[in-house]
A = this chain, B = another copy of it.
Amino acid sequence: MPTPSRLLPVAGPPTRVRRDAAANSDRILCAAVELVQSEGVDAITMDRVAERAGVGKGTVFRAFGSRSGLLAALTDETERDFQRGMLQGAPPLGPGAAPLDRLLAFGEGRLRLHAVHGQLFREIARTPTGKYDVPARQVSMTHVRMLLRQLGVDAHLEVLSEALVGTLDADVVSQLLERGLSEAELIAGWRDLVLRLVGGCRP
């Protein structure tokens, strides 16, 4: 995994070399995102990304170490954006909305991300135990547990949040899409699941 300093602004006046490296990294990440969006994650090779970014292949290796380093950096960017939305973005995903609306928006947002980044997420989580160690998943679990607590759920938080977050995991979503469900049906299913779980009695 690349260190965050490669992607976030560094303190102090950057040297010319560092500025150039950062510009190259940005260009490479942009090229990679475009490739994923147009052709899927399988299109990501060091050669093709270098070609599209207009840099040498050696530059891609220097910036990201390996193909999986590049994929991790791509996912990091996406996940950081999403987390910013959760923690300080606009409602209903961000603070300010009611917990139930935030929970609904959270799942809907994850499901929409899947269309573009699902293959990437799957590749990152490929090892069976690794899936649970992915930092973004742990952030999701923490967020869902917090919202469940705010909704007055105070027992079995681990099992209930696994049931919720689990249905948003890339491998599960891919499975459901392969079985013929549309993104809209997944989002409607998520809403139904959440409302059944925490919507409670509405006589």
Q: Tell me which residues across on chain B come within 8 A of A192, comparing CB atoms.
A: 155-156, 159-160
Q: Tell me which residues across on chain B come within 8 A of A189, comparing CB atoms.
A: 156, 158-160
- Interface residue tally for chain A (C-beta within 8 Å): 37
Q: Tell me which residues across on chain B come within 8 A of A38, comparing CB atoms.
A: none
- From known contacts A128-B126, A196-B196, infer whether A167 and B176 are also in contact, taking CB-CB under 8 Å: no
Docked complex: A122-179 residues within 8 A CB-CB of B: 122, 125-129, 131-132, 155-156, 158-160, 162-164, 166-167, 171-172, 175-176, 179
Least Cβ–Cβ distance between A40 and chain B, in angstroms: 16
Least Cβ–Cβ distance between A68 and chain B, in angstroms: 15
A158 and B171 form a contact (CB under 8 A): no
Is A17 interfacial (CB 8 A cutoff)? no
B132 and A193 form a contact (CB under 8 A): no
How far, in whole Å, are A150 and B127 apart by their CA atoms in the complex?
Answer: 37
Q: Tell me which residues across on chain B come within 8 A of A172, comparing CB atoms.
A: 162, 166
Is A97 interfacial (CB 8 A cutoff)? no
A159 and B176 form a contact (CB under 8 A): yes
Q: Tell me which residues across on chain B come within 8 A of A127, comparing CB atoms.
A: 128
How far, in whole Å, are A162 and B181 apart by their CA atoms in the complex?
Answer: 13
Q: Tell me which residues across on chain B come within 8 A of A9, comparing CB atoms.
A: none
A159 and B193 form a contact (CB under 8 A): yes
Q: Tell me which residues across on chain B come within 8 A of A202, comparing CB atoms.
A: 201
How far, in whole Å, are A129 and B131 apart by their CA atoms in the complex?
Answer: 13
